[in-house]
Amino acid sequence: GRCYEIEPVPGEDNQFIAYVAYPLDLFEEGSVTNMFTSIVGNVFGFKALRALRLEDLRIPNAYVKTFQGPPHGIQVERDKLNKYGRPLLGCTIKPKLGLSAKNYGRAVYECLRGGLDFTKDDENVNSQPFMRWRDRFLFCAEAIYKSQAETGEIKGHYLNATAGTCEEMLKRAVFARELGVPIVMHDYLTGG
């Protein structure tokens, strides 16, 4: 990258804002992972800097256009949930760790039954000894179907399929599909 401007932070001694530009050819097309690794990973790993903070990131339209985007936009989500003319309401289940799969499923049910459109697993809810992924998937699917039957509304839950290998993630995604739960997620920060 090339630093093209440095300006002092108003009212601060020894603090500066640096403006850095990178040529687009440094980045793989359509790869958020590569972009952040190149910008954040390399710069933040520079030991000569004691304190560094990313304040802003401006991405040129030419690079933005290389991203395919999600295969389903908000309109598809609205169509699947049959919800129009209002915001979609959802939450991440908390507490996220320590619950059994049954109690976790109960929390999902209570949120969906209480009026939310969808819930989601937190990124670090995977397959811990207190709540294995298969059990969580089963209880969450039960919560979805029970809340739908009681409310007459379509409900959803984002099941975290993040795992140690791609094969294991695919196995979890296939199991979710077999349960009739069409939405899975993975932690992009660790999974890329």
Domain with 89 in it: what CATH number? 3.20.20.110
- Judge whether 129 and 157 are in contact, CB under 8 Å: no
Token digits of residue 171: 């196995």
CA 161 to chain centre: 12
Burial of residue 50, with CB atoms counted within 10 A of its CB: 0-12 exposed, 13-18 middle, 19 or more buried: exposed
Total of domains in the chain? 2
- Does 163 share its domain with 185? yes
Task: Report how far residue 129's alpha carbon sits from residue 83's, in angstroms, rounded to the nearest whole number.
Answer: 37
Structural domain that includes position 60:
2-64
Domain assignment present for residue 16? The answer is yes
Tell me: the pLDDT tens digits for 57-73? 999 999 989 988 766 77
User: Is 168 strand, coil or helix?
Assistant: helix
Q: Which residue positions in the chain have pLDDT lower than 50?
A: none
- Tokens 């990973």 correspond to 41
- Does 179 share its domain with 94? yes
pTM for the predicted model, two decimal places: 0.68
Q: Which of 43, 64, 85 is the last residue of a domain?
A: 64
Burial of residue 176, with CB atoms counted within 10 A of its CB: 0-12 exposed, 13-18 middle, 19 or more buried: buried
Tell me: the pLDDT tens digits for 63-112? 989 988 766 778 888 988 899 999 999 999 998 888 999 999 999 999 99
Domain assignment present for residue 106? The answer is yes
Amino acid at 24: L
